[in-house]
Structure 1
Amino acid sequence: MFLRMFIKKAVKMNTAFIFYASLVLVGVSAVIMRVIEPETFPTLFEAVWWVMTTVTTVGYGDYYPVSVGGRIYAMFLYIIGIGLIGVVIGKFVDGFAELKKRREEGKLPYQGQNHIVIIGWSQKASYAVAEIIESEKCEIVIIDKLPKAPVIEEYIHYIQGDAAEEEVLRNADITNAKAVLVFSDDTIHDSLLADGKSLIIASSIERMSTDIHTTVEIKKEEHIKNFTHVQVDEFVLSHEAVSRMAVRSAFTKGIAGIYSQLLSRGHGDNLYEIFVHANWHTYREAFDALLQEGATLIADGNRMDINRRLDEPISEEAKLLVICDKAVYEKLKGKEWAG
């Protein structure tokens, strides 16, 4: 009865107090046993060892009290020490469980850098997560209002809340992120309202970090002009892009397969970024060098007129885009073509 009451009161005590009380109990008990039985416990370490194996119920039996006084104190440890340490272990287990629960509910701030933030969970966002994992395997932070994380993985962190709020973006460590993908809210059927929400989110991101690369999905192309005061780097048309690709495939058979292959890293030749090599002075030099390795240079950033600019000098900040398979790309990285 006494032990049960003690444990109930201990459970209600402050965790820090219980932890320090346990340390004091172990330390004091070790000193007491060292004083009572100096021959059994020749050093303080042996006494601490015996106390720890006793209160954790391990009981190796290599050390044990032989005197009446030592055994009486051992009985005290059986009653008080084991119960106290049991409460400490229970609180540690509860703490880990609470931590896991808070992580699943998106209530733990993310701390990291060079991660990709995905705003708005949907089927499209799930495809984006799979593509990121296939491409770079970097850390991913998802922001949404779902009650629990849509994906439970070690490298995927969930933040619950409104992405237009500064605190939520701060919890996602937006200032240290590598890129942000803002997906259109599929629950809003009015394209004007959906793109308006994306505009507010993009404005909130810009207010906190003007350097981050931001890609926004919009439902109508004519709404892009409304983003002119916001530094959005890329726009993706959600429904119009699919419709246009379908029309192109009707006139040019097989073109849809080319689009799909370039958009996905799953198979075949894909689009990769290659930074400027120190030995390349013109686009022609870069084009010829990459072609010999099995890669085709097609663009510098969003400019696809490389074939008309072959003799122009390349700036050190240029972002060259090539088409090749993954094996060639890995070979190019191994030869330090990226700089």
Structure 2
Amino acid sequence: MHFFLKVGLSLVRMKNLTLLFAALIFIVFCTVTIYLLEPETFESLLTSFYFVMTTFSTVGYGDYSPVTGAGRLFTVMMYLLGIGLLGVVIGKIVDAFSIFRKRKEEGKLAYTHEHHIIIVGWGKKTEMALKEILSSDPSVEIVIIDTLPTSPTDVSMERVHYVQGDPSEEGPFIQANIAKAKSVIIFADENITVASLRDAKTLTIAITCERLASNVHTTVEVMTEKQLANFSHVKVDEFILSQETISLLAVRSAMHQNVGNIVTQLISRTVGEDLFEIPTRPEWKTYGDAFHALLEHGATLIADRQKMDINRRLQEEIPSDAILTVICDDSTYHSIISKGVRS
């Protein structure tokens, strides 16, 4: 008993790779030995391997069994050592999965995929953005960076990943694979009450982000407009003025009814018509060509990048780097993308 206890403790202390290698060698040894002891009972190495594995796993179908004394004695030895070895290996595998899940919950695993969206900071805005992204694109994955001790979302969500760390440092961004990301969204820290201090932290994060991956599209939430000057040297692609945007939308809604509902509908994938980007086509020479071709398919062309006066530019030629924005429903957009549009 002391011998088996000592062997068991030695197996538990083994490194995973060493233990796996030892298990494979023992299985091969038993497979070859039992075949050499009883070649007539076990017609091939495949049969003896089948017998060894059913013995180790305690299944014991009984369709093959040794008939000689030497074969039976070796089987007993193989049974005593093999079950313990296989049990330790299975235990190590279970432990590895547990450690993996724990590290994922704590945001300690590096993200290795590409074309994902990184969201910095967890809060109500992040939660809403998460739902909107997941409903808008069925394939895109999201990486959340925050200092929370565990993931704020269910770790079983395959398309959402968590990285723990201070986003003002480069480590979390490298762990989130920012170099291969599609875009980054930086929300202001809701735990900071002073707007200027919130913007100061956001600025630090934006500088870190742009230093590591200046080619990645970056959207930053800024609390006050006067702080935009401090962001002038940071190559941020888009700014969202949080307080001003809400105030202006409230005023427009009060002065012109339903404006708020219209804007909400356009920026949400879950309600009504939406905004989509449409690639240009060789047959579209002018904005007028694109406008009328898209209109026939139920989509309305409203902008090229930041140019929203397309209806007054119908005679102008479309530049090669144009990014056209249309208003339509989801089915119309997918029909245009999949089938193409002819003028």
TM range (shorter): over 0.9
**Aligned residue number for residue 151 of structure 1:** 153
Contact 1:295 1:323 in 2 (8 A): yes
User: Which amino acid counterpart does residue 140 of structure 1 have in structure 2?
Assistant: I
Counterpart pick for 2:339 among 322, 335, 339 = 335
Q: Aligned-pair distance for 1:8?
A: 2.8
Contact 1:249 1:255 in 2 (8 A): yes
Q: Structure 1 unaligned runs (5+)? A: none
With normalisation by structure 2, the TM-score equals 0.96
**Aligned residue number for residue 305 of structure 1:** 309
**Aligned residue number for residue 124 of structure 1:** 125
Q: Aligned-pair distance for 1:336?
A: 2.6
Q: Structure 2 unaligned runs (5+)? A: none
Q: Deviations over 1:62-100 (max 9, x none)?
A: 211111111111111121110011000110011011111
Q: Aligned-pair distance for 1:49?
A: 1.3
Q: Deviations over 1:37-57 (max 9, x none)?
A: 111112212111111111111
Contact 2:293 2:341 in 1 (8 A): no
**Aligned residue number for residue 232 of structure 1:** 236
Matched residue SS, 2:266: helix
Q: Aligned-pair distance for 1:333?
A: 1.3
Question: Take 1:64 and 1:165, find their aligned partners in 2: how far apart are those partners?
Answer: 63
Q: Aligned residues: percent identity?
A: 46
Contact 1:143 1:158 in 2 (8 A): yes
Contact 1:34 1:44 in 2 (8 A): yes
Q: Aligned-pair distance for 1:60?
A: 1.9
Answer yes or no: is 1:180 the counterpart of 2:181: no
Matched residue SS, 1:239: helix
Answer yes or no: is 1:43 the counterpart of 2:44: yes
Contact 1:261 1:268 in 2 (8 A): yes
Answer yes or no: is 1:214 the counterpart of 2:215: no
Answer yes or no: is 1:25 the counterpart of 2:29: no
User: Which amino acid counterpart does residue 59 of structure 1 have in structure 2?
Assistant: G
With normalisation by structure 1, the TM-score equals 0.97
Q: Deviations over 1:162-194 (max 9, x none)?
A: 112222111101011011000000001111111
Matched residue SS, 2:208: helix
Matched residue SS, 2:196: helix
Q: Aligned-pair distance for 1:9?
A: 2.8
Contact 1:116 1:177 in 2 (8 A): yes
Question: How many equivalent pairs are there?
Answer: 338
Matched residue SS, 2:143: strand
Answer yes or no: is 1:141 the counterpart of 2:143: yes
**Aligned residue number for residue 14 of structure 1:** 15
Q: Aligned-pair distance for 1:204?
A: 0.8
Question: Take 2:111 and 2:293, find their aligned partners in 1: how far apart are those partners?
Answer: 42
Counterpart pick for 1:289 among 287, 293, 308 = 293
Could you say what the CA RMSD is over the residues aligned between the two structures, in angstroms?
A: 1.3
Moved over 3 A (4+): 1-5
Answer yes or no: is 1:78 the counterpart of 2:79: yes
Are the structure 2 counterparts of residues 337 and 179 from structure 1 closer, same or farther at C-alpha, using a change threshold of 3 Å? farther
